[in-house]
Structure 1
Amino acid sequence: MSTGSIATLLYNTPHKFTGLLVIGKIFFFLDIISYLSIWTSLITRFTRFPHAFGATFHDPEEAYLIPTAALGFATILFGIEVYGVPSCGIWLVKTQLVLFWVYVAIAICLAVCLNWHLYKTRMATRQPFWLVRLLPSFPAMLAGTTASLLISAHPPHYAIPMLIAGTALQGFGFMISLFILAEYIHGLHHGGLPPMRRRPQMFIAIGPPAFTAVELMGMAEVATSKFGTGFIASAGSLNVPDVLVVLTLFISIFLWILSFFFWALGWLSIFDARREWKFDITWWATVFPNTGFALATIKIGELLDSEAVRWVGPAATVIQVTLWVACAGAHVWAYFTRRTLWPGMDEGFGPDESRRDGSRDGVGMEGDVVGWKAGESHRGLGEV
């Protein structure tokens, strides 16, 4: 999903140079290849070890990551819109419409059924990091962002249901995220900063306000061509699209500053522990949420018609591409040196890392989960 988000960011970056779209297409194809490769690996794993599929739903690390499969699907839909539709016929537009509603159905099932399962099994008591609890509702929230990018290619009778469904799901995901973000802030106040291996995941907090801002501004822009003046009968002759643009712009600025707070908090926390840096898969959390923050910044610059803010867009794009390259390079190196994607060495299974105060975090080889709060311990059920 990080690769697909970079492809979308490259397409939306202002002040493009020649060849930027070609680079974006390369990232889009890499996104498809990596997505299919991961699914192939998962199917192979579950075929060879059937018990691992059921164990995934009872492991405090893996269970919360199940929705990332849907998020990866959403980023492919982003790429289809910006790179595929302009190069293909009407058949891809119709296929895209079907895929959007399939995605909505999957997102709703994950938000309801997976959350219910996690509540029933009290999974949060064995998952010491608060923000990963956002992930089951994340695909529903991203449905709004997906709709805002896709509806421009569809006539009003298709676009308006997409817009309404996307707004409803975006609102649901954002409201759920507020409860978890409150728990996150409470945990930081009382438990302090998490261990270094968890700190890249602090950027997950950026996603809800940032992607909601992107969705609101995108929906409002498209509404100007899809909504008529009298779309809402009780509003009389009020120009609904113009009102939406003004309203969503200022709400998005309101959300953007919250994203900026979480962005700054994450980087301060990571650089504070720079002597403990060691790559693991959690570092990929620095890419996808931060891309949403960059997209929100670019959109605000466009609607404000601010050249100064527009120039922030290319700078943010350079930073995000650099982060992606660094994570990809470190991930390949870690794989060949058997420090990730090997039994006993991944998030949730590998040897945990010590904090300065001597407490430990993570899921050990025996399955013990130990939080950074004194006296907090749990049991994990996952299997490799």
Structure 2
Amino acid sequence: MVRFDDPSPSENPDGLPKVSPLARRIHGWSWQAFPIGMGTGAVYVTLSGIKTRSSILTTVETVFYVLNMILFVLNTTTLLLQAILYPKQAGRLLTDPVKGVFVPLVVLSFATIIIGTINYTVPSGHSSPDFIYVLFWVYTGFAVLLCFPMLMIWFNKPHDLSHFTPAYAFLVFPLMLVGVVSFNVLRVLEHDDPRSVGVLLCGYFFQGLGFFMTFIYICIYFIRIMSTGFLEGHQANGAFVTCGPPGFTALALIQLGQRAREILPAHNLVSPAAGEIWYATSVMSALLLFGLAVFLFLFSALPYWFKLHKHLNEILGCWALTFPNVGWISTLALLGNIFEIKAFYYLHLMMTTIMVITWTVLFTLTLVAFWKGLIFRSKDEDVIKDSITISFSRRSSMSDVEAEKHDKRMRSSGEVV
């Protein structure tokens, strides 16, 4: 197997060939790279809720949308190469009870791309409602097929309550986000289209499933901090994950309720007043959940700076400051529309500005950490250990003595030559 070995004939002191920087990057990549794209998507999702629109704002949102797609392709391609070149490392990341919780984030990243596609390609005519409808079912199927196996892996092993983190809820997040994706899809489907009923019901179904499952994780989180105190170190970032379930559910309920006002009467379903009842109930429920989301945000933010370890090699965890807060921030703008209170618009604009500043700081620090090799880079010995075999061209250039020496070292490390 090719290991991107250094083309120069020099070797390490132990007689093994040097490993190229590219190989160390591919081997060291992880599923924790996806929150970077999700944080980027969080920027254009919150910006899209600003009431006063302009062409400049739309251009900025489109730039973030394109950057998000680039990051998604980069992450998926690198992890695919890792699975091909270093299957042991790839399998280790998938089955690890801690690191495996980040695998479903690939689905969440896909959700932000779908939302961006609806916002920026459908109005311009580059995408059709039929294409968006297909994407919705692709996302739903993708979420179910990925989340359930990962849940089986995670629950197959016991977990220490003293080390519990809300980030474990990522295993259910893709199912919960079906509701968010569905109301965005309903924006481009005609309300009298028969397909809209299925999308509406599916959105409510999975939003309820995802929220109540993640709410159980939030309860366990409170039990944990009652016994150990606030989360410290890199886990302090995970506290912000608790804002996601109530915030996104509040957002989804209001938006799905607005669609139900049109869809249910158009198809003569339930009763003539069903649409208005669903909408009114959704607004009331969303307001309750919005209050919970704001409380959890403040509860996570107040002790954050004092509990966080300021280490640059833990910068990836800090991206939890962005995307979990999108739900309740976007709900601010909707509440302003519903109750005609301008204070909600000002709060939304303020939090959106903070979101953009946070993204700028995190993206800069992430680039610095990447440049310094603090993230996404493995050690030479780890790459060599997970290599199946040395490249044929490299081994054929060795003398018999060198080849025998290499084979002996590979056998001693448990590798097949």
What TM-score, normalized to structure 2? 0.77
- 1:134 deviation in Å? 0.6
Partners of 1:69 and 1:127 in 2: CA distance: 28
> Structure 1: which 5+ residue stretches go unaligned?
345-384
1:44 to 67, 77, 81: 81
Partners of 1:17 and 1:317 in 2: CA distance: 16
2:45 to 2, 5, 8: 8
Percent identity between the aligned chains?
22
Choose 15-24 or 261-270, whichever is displaced more: 15-24
**1:330 pairs with 2:370:** no
Choose 306-315 or 33-42, whichever is displaced more: 306-315
> Structure 2: which 5+ residue stretches go unaligned?
1-37, 380-417
Any residues of structure 2 matched to 1:113-124 within 5 Å, and which?
113-122=149-158, 124=159
**1:293 pairs with 2:337:** no
Give the aligned residue type for 1:295. Answer: S
Partners of 1:134 and 1:296 in 2: CA distance: 21
Q: For residues 123-178 of structure 1, what are the alpha-carbon distances to aligned partners after superposition, in whole Å with 9 as ceiling and x for unaligned?
A: x3499233122111100000001101111211331111011011101100111011
- Tell me the SS of whatever aligns to 1:196: coil
**1:66 pairs with 2:103:** yes
**1:166 pairs with 2:203:** yes
Give the aligned residue type for 1:193. Answer: F
Alignment match, 2:311: 278
Partners of 2:319 and 2:368 in 1: CA distance: 15
- Tell me the SS of whatever aligns to 1:227: helix
**1:131 pairs with 2:181:** no
Give the aligned residue type for 1:336. Answer: W
Give the aligned residue type for 2:71. Answer: S
2:356 to 321, 327, 342: 321
Partners of 1:331 and 1:25 in 2: CA distance: 22
1:250 to 284, 288, 292: 284
Q: Contact between 2:97 and 2:154, CA under 8 Å: does it hold in 1?
A: no
Shift in alpha-carbon separation, 1:78–1:327, aligned structure 2, 3 A: same
Alignment match, 1:358: none
- 1:320 deviation in Å? 0.5
- 1:59 deviation in Å? 1.5
1:143 to 154, 178, 181: 178
Give the aligned residue type for 2:85. Answer: R
Give the aligned residue type for 1:320. Answer: M
Q: Contact between 1:104 and 1:140, CA under 8 Å: does it hold in 2?
A: yes
Give the aligned residue type for 1:215. Answer: A
- Tell me the SS of whatever aligns to 2:139: helix
- 1:297 deviation in Å? 1.6
**1:261 pairs with 2:295:** yes
Alignment match, 1:93: 129
**1:112 pairs with 2:148:** yes
Supply the RMSD in Å over aligned alpha carbons: 1.8
Shift in alpha-carbon separation, 1:190–1:180, aligned structure 2, 3 A: same
**1:303 pairs with 2:338:** yes
Q: Contact between 1:301 and 1:307, CA under 8 Å: does it hold in 2?
A: yes
Q: Contact between 2:238 and 2:317, CA under 8 Å: does it hold in 1?
A: yes
Alignment match, 1:351: none
What TM-score, normalized to structure 1? 0.84
Shift in alpha-carbon separation, 1:193–1:114, aligned structure 2, 3 A: same
Partners of 2:40 and 2:162 in 1: CA distance: 27
**1:24 pairs with 2:24:** no
Alignment match, 1:183: 220
Partners of 2:123 and 2:267 in 1: CA distance: 31
**1:343 pairs with 2:364:** no
Give the aligned residue type for 1:129. Answer: F
Q: For residues 171-227 of structure 1, what are the alpha-carbon distances to aligned partners after superposition, in whole Å with 9 as ceiling and x for unaligned?
A: 001110111111000111111112222111111000000000111011111222222
Partners of 1:146 and 1:188 in 2: CA distance: 32
Partners of 1:125 and 1:185 in 2: CA distance: 14
Q: Contact between 2:118 and 2:185, CA under 8 Å: does it hold in 1?
A: yes
- Tell me the SS of whatever aligns to 1:55: helix
Partners of 1:240 and 1:125 in 2: CA distance: 46
- Tell me the SS of whatever aligns to 1:86: coil
Alignment match, 1:359: none
Alignment match, 1:377: none
Q: For residues 10-53 of structure 1, what are the alpha-carbon distances to aligned partners after superposition, in whole Å with 9 as ceiling and x for unaligned?
A: 11222335511110000000000000011111111111101122
Bigger radius of gyration: 2
Partners of 1:141 and 1:57 in 2: CA distance: 21
- Equivalenced residues, count: 338
